[in-house]
Amino acid sequence: MQVTRVADAGALAERGAALLAQAARTAVAERGRCCLAVSGGSTPGAMLRAFARLVLPWERIHLFQVDERIAPDGDPHRNWVQVQAAFAGAATGVHLHAMPVTLADPEAAAKQYAETLAAVCGRPAVLDLVHLGLGADGHTASLVPGDPALAVTGADVTPTGPYQGCARLTLTYPMLARARAILWVMAGADKAPMLVRLLAGDPTIPAGRVPQDRAQVLADAAAGDGL
Protein backbone atom coordinates (compact mmCIF):
# COMPACT_ATOMS: atom_id res chain seq x y z
CA MET A 1 0.00 0.00 0.00
CA GLN A 2 1.47 3.33 -1.06
CA VAL A 3 2.03 5.83 1.77
CA THR A 4 2.43 9.57 1.21
CA ARG A 5 3.43 11.74 4.15
CA VAL A 6 2.87 15.50 4.14
CA ALA A 7 3.94 18.16 6.59
CA ASP A 8 0.71 19.52 8.00
CA ALA A 9 -3.08 19.83 7.80
CA GLY A 10 -2.99 22.33 4.94
CA ALA A 11 -0.85 20.08 2.78
CA LEU A 12 -3.05 17.11 3.71
CA ALA A 13 -6.19 18.92 2.52
CA GLU A 14 -4.68 20.05 -0.77
CA ARG A 15 -3.10 16.69 -1.59
CA GLY A 16 -6.26 14.80 -0.65
CA ALA A 17 -8.38 17.08 -2.85
CA ALA A 18 -5.98 16.53 -5.75
CA LEU A 19 -6.26 12.76 -5.38
CA LEU A 20 -10.07 12.91 -5.30
CA ALA A 21 -10.01 15.07 -8.42
CA GLN A 22 -7.66 12.70 -10.21
CA ALA A 23 -9.97 9.77 -9.47
CA ALA A 24 -12.97 11.78 -10.65
CA ARG A 25 -11.39 12.80 -13.95
CA THR A 26 -10.25 9.24 -14.67
CA ALA A 27 -13.66 7.75 -13.91
CA VAL A 28 -15.51 10.29 -16.06
CA ALA A 29 -13.10 9.72 -18.94
CA GLU A 30 -13.40 5.94 -18.73
CA ARG A 31 -17.04 5.42 -17.70
CA GLY A 32 -18.83 8.73 -18.19
CA ARG A 33 -19.50 9.30 -14.50
CA CYS A 34 -17.76 9.11 -11.14
CA CYS A 35 -19.02 7.70 -7.85
CA LEU A 36 -17.13 8.80 -4.74
CA ALA A 37 -17.86 8.07 -1.08
CA VAL A 38 -16.47 10.26 1.70
CA SER A 39 -16.16 9.80 5.43
CA GLY A 40 -16.83 12.29 8.20
CA GLY A 41 -14.72 13.25 11.17
CA SER A 42 -12.49 16.19 11.98
CA THR A 43 -9.81 15.63 9.34
CA PRO A 44 -11.62 15.71 5.95
CA GLY A 45 -13.53 19.00 6.19
CA ALA A 46 -10.72 21.12 4.74
CA MET A 47 -10.04 18.47 2.08
CA LEU A 48 -13.67 18.51 0.93
CA ARG A 49 -13.70 22.31 0.78
CA ALA A 50 -10.55 22.28 -1.34
CA PHE A 51 -12.04 19.58 -3.58
CA ALA A 52 -15.29 21.50 -4.09
CA ARG A 53 -13.36 24.57 -5.32
CA LEU A 54 -11.72 22.69 -8.19
CA VAL A 55 -12.86 22.85 -11.79
CA LEU A 56 -14.30 19.43 -12.59
CA PRO A 57 -17.18 17.93 -14.62
CA TRP A 58 -19.36 18.14 -11.52
CA GLU A 59 -22.59 17.20 -13.31
CA ARG A 60 -21.05 13.74 -13.85
CA ILE A 61 -19.87 13.31 -10.26
CA HIS A 62 -21.93 11.57 -7.56
CA LEU A 63 -20.89 11.97 -3.93
CA PHE A 64 -22.05 9.38 -1.39
CA GLN A 65 -21.51 8.93 2.33
CA VAL A 66 -19.40 6.18 3.88
CA ASP A 67 -21.27 6.44 7.17
CA GLU A 68 -23.60 8.69 9.11
CA ARG A 69 -25.00 9.14 12.60
CA ILE A 70 -28.70 8.43 13.02
CA ALA A 71 -29.66 11.94 14.07
CA PRO A 72 -32.03 14.70 12.89
CA ASP A 73 -31.31 16.91 9.91
CA GLY A 74 -29.06 19.78 10.92
CA ASP A 75 -27.61 18.00 13.93
CA PRO A 76 -24.05 19.39 14.21
CA HIS A 77 -22.67 15.88 14.76
CA ARG A 78 -23.98 14.70 11.37
CA ASN A 79 -21.30 14.13 8.74
CA TRP A 80 -23.71 15.55 6.17
CA VAL A 81 -23.52 19.00 7.74
CA GLN A 82 -19.82 19.03 6.86
CA VAL A 83 -20.51 17.91 3.28
CA GLN A 84 -23.17 20.57 2.80
CA ALA A 85 -20.86 23.27 4.16
CA ALA A 86 -18.05 22.20 1.84
CA PHE A 87 -20.17 22.24 -1.31
CA ALA A 88 -22.41 25.23 -0.56
CA GLY A 89 -22.11 27.64 -3.46
CA ALA A 90 -19.48 25.49 -5.17
CA ALA A 91 -19.25 22.51 -7.52
CA THR A 92 -22.34 23.42 -9.55
CA GLY A 93 -24.19 20.34 -10.76
CA VAL A 94 -22.64 17.81 -8.39
CA HIS A 95 -25.00 15.03 -7.23
CA LEU A 96 -24.98 14.74 -3.43
CA HIS A 97 -26.55 11.61 -1.93
CA ALA A 98 -27.24 11.79 1.81
CA MET A 99 -27.85 8.67 3.85
CA PRO A 100 -31.58 8.69 4.81
CA VAL A 101 -30.93 8.46 8.54
CA THR A 102 -34.11 10.30 9.50
CA LEU A 103 -36.28 7.34 8.45
CA ALA A 104 -37.92 5.66 11.42
CA ASP A 105 -36.57 2.21 10.52
CA PRO A 106 -32.75 2.02 10.22
CA GLU A 107 -32.95 -1.29 8.33
CA ALA A 108 -35.24 0.31 5.77
CA ALA A 109 -32.90 3.30 5.55
CA ALA A 110 -29.93 1.01 4.89
CA LYS A 111 -31.81 -0.82 2.12
CA GLN A 112 -32.92 2.46 0.55
CA TYR A 113 -29.35 3.78 0.42
CA ALA A 114 -28.08 0.51 -1.00
CA GLU A 115 -30.69 0.83 -3.74
CA THR A 116 -29.59 4.40 -4.46
CA LEU A 117 -26.00 3.19 -4.78
CA ALA A 118 -27.04 0.41 -7.15
CA ALA A 119 -29.18 2.73 -9.28
CA VAL A 120 -26.24 5.09 -9.85
CA CYS A 121 -23.18 2.83 -9.60
CA GLY A 122 -24.41 -0.43 -11.10
CA ARG A 123 -25.46 -3.83 -9.82
CA PRO A 124 -23.49 -4.72 -7.84
CA ALA A 125 -22.64 -1.12 -6.96
CA VAL A 126 -18.98 -0.24 -7.49
CA LEU A 127 -17.57 3.02 -6.16
CA ASP A 128 -14.69 4.59 -8.05
CA LEU A 129 -13.04 5.77 -4.85
CA VAL A 130 -13.82 5.49 -1.15
CA HIS A 131 -12.24 7.93 1.28
CA LEU A 132 -11.68 6.40 4.71
CA GLY A 133 -10.41 7.65 8.03
CA LEU A 134 -8.74 5.73 10.82
CA GLY A 135 -9.83 5.89 14.45
CA ALA A 136 -7.49 5.68 17.41
CA ASP A 137 -9.31 2.43 18.29
CA GLY A 138 -8.73 0.99 14.81
CA HIS A 139 -12.22 1.63 13.45
CA THR A 140 -12.96 2.90 9.97
CA ALA A 141 -16.27 4.04 8.49
CA SER A 142 -18.61 3.03 11.33
CA LEU A 143 -17.11 -0.44 11.46
CA VAL A 144 -16.06 -0.37 15.10
CA PRO A 145 -14.58 -3.04 17.36
CA GLY A 146 -17.16 -5.57 18.53
CA ASP A 147 -20.10 -4.26 16.48
CA PRO A 148 -22.33 -6.76 14.64
CA ALA A 149 -21.87 -4.71 11.46
CA LEU A 150 -18.41 -6.24 11.13
CA ALA A 151 -19.99 -9.59 10.25
CA VAL A 152 -22.48 -8.32 7.65
CA THR A 153 -21.75 -9.89 4.27
CA GLY A 154 -25.16 -9.87 2.55
CA ALA A 155 -25.75 -6.12 2.31
CA ASP A 156 -23.87 -3.06 1.07
CA VAL A 157 -25.21 -0.78 3.82
CA THR A 158 -26.13 -1.70 7.38
CA PRO A 159 -27.19 -0.10 10.66
CA THR A 160 -24.80 -0.31 13.60
CA GLY A 161 -25.16 -0.37 17.33
CA PRO A 162 -24.45 2.73 19.41
CA TYR A 163 -20.93 4.14 19.17
CA GLN A 164 -19.94 7.25 21.06
CA GLY A 165 -23.57 7.65 22.01
CA CYS A 166 -25.13 7.28 18.57
CA ALA A 167 -26.21 4.45 16.26
CA ARG A 168 -25.21 4.83 12.62
CA LEU A 169 -25.50 3.63 9.05
CA THR A 170 -22.32 2.43 7.38
CA LEU A 171 -21.04 0.88 4.18
CA THR A 172 -20.06 -2.74 4.78
CA TYR A 173 -16.88 -4.66 4.04
CA PRO A 174 -18.29 -6.15 0.80
CA MET A 175 -19.07 -2.66 -0.49
CA LEU A 176 -15.60 -1.39 0.45
CA ALA A 177 -13.95 -4.44 -1.11
CA ARG A 178 -15.53 -3.74 -4.53
CA ALA A 179 -14.25 -0.14 -4.69
CA ARG A 180 -11.84 0.60 -7.50
CA ALA A 181 -9.67 2.58 -5.08
CA ILE A 182 -9.41 3.34 -1.37
CA LEU A 183 -7.90 6.58 -0.07
CA TRP A 184 -6.99 6.60 3.62
CA VAL A 185 -6.57 10.12 5.00
CA MET A 186 -5.39 10.63 8.59
CA ALA A 187 -3.88 13.26 10.83
CA GLY A 188 -2.62 13.38 14.40
CA ALA A 189 -0.25 11.48 16.64
CA ASP A 190 -3.09 9.40 18.09
CA LYS A 191 -3.40 7.65 14.70
CA ALA A 192 0.28 6.63 14.49
CA PRO A 193 0.05 3.27 16.33
CA MET A 194 -3.02 2.21 14.34
CA LEU A 195 -1.46 3.24 11.05
CA VAL A 196 1.37 0.78 11.71
CA ARG A 197 -1.20 -1.95 12.35
CA LEU A 198 -3.23 -0.96 9.28
CA LEU A 199 -0.19 -1.26 7.03
CA ALA A 200 0.55 -4.65 8.56
CA GLY A 201 -2.96 -5.81 7.61
CA ASP A 202 -3.78 -6.54 11.25
CA PRO A 203 -7.19 -8.29 11.11
CA THR A 204 -7.82 -7.70 14.81
CA ILE A 205 -8.69 -4.07 14.09
CA PRO A 206 -11.63 -3.23 11.81
CA ALA A 207 -9.50 -1.08 9.49
CA GLY A 208 -7.09 -3.97 8.95
CA ARG A 209 -9.79 -6.00 7.24
CA VAL A 210 -10.22 -3.57 4.33
CA PRO A 211 -8.40 -4.86 1.20
CA GLN A 212 -5.10 -3.12 0.53
CA ASP A 213 -4.41 -3.99 -3.09
CA ARG A 214 -6.07 -0.83 -4.47
CA ALA A 215 -5.41 1.42 -1.49
CA GLN A 216 -3.14 4.32 -0.65
CA VAL A 217 -2.51 6.26 2.55
CA LEU A 218 -2.18 10.01 2.94
CA ALA A 219 -0.93 10.98 6.40
CA ASP A 220 0.43 14.08 8.09
CA ALA A 221 3.79 14.02 9.84
CA ALA A 222 2.30 13.21 13.24
CA ALA A 223 0.19 10.29 12.02
CA GLY A 224 3.14 8.85 10.10
CA ASP A 225 5.62 9.23 12.94
CA GLY A 226 5.72 5.50 13.65
CA LEU A 227 6.70 4.48 10.13
Instruction: Give the chain's domains with CATH numbers.
Output: 2-220 (3.40.50.1360)
Q: How many CB atoms lie within 10 A of CB 176?
A: 23
The arithmetic mean of pLDDT across residues 146-175, rounded, is 96
Decide if pLDDT at 4 tops 90. yes
Q: How many CB atoms lie within 10 A of CB 25?
A: 15
Q: What is the pLDDT of residues 177-216, one digit of tens each?
A: 999 999 999 999 999 999 999 999 999 999 999 999 999 9
Number of residues in the chain: 227
pLDDT of residue 10: 92
Decide if pLDDT at 42 tops 90. no
Decide if pLDDT at 41 tops 80. no
Run of H or E residues at 157:
strand 157-159
Q: What is the mean pLDDT of the chain?
A: 95
pLDDT of residue 227: 80
Decide if pLDDT at 160 tops 80. yes
Q: What is the pLDDT of residues 55-103, one digit of tens each?
A: 999 999 999 999 999 999 988 889 999 999 999 989 999 999 999 999 9
Whole-model pTM?
0.96
CB contact set of 224 (below 8 Å; sequence gap of 6+): 3, 5, 192, 195
Which residue in 159, 158, 224, 194 sits closest to 2, CA to CA?
A: 224
Burial class, 165, CB count within 10 angstroms (exposed 0-12 / middle 13-18 / buried 19+): exposed
Sign of the CA dihedral with 92 first, then 93, 99, and 101 last: positive
d(CA 18, CA 54): 9
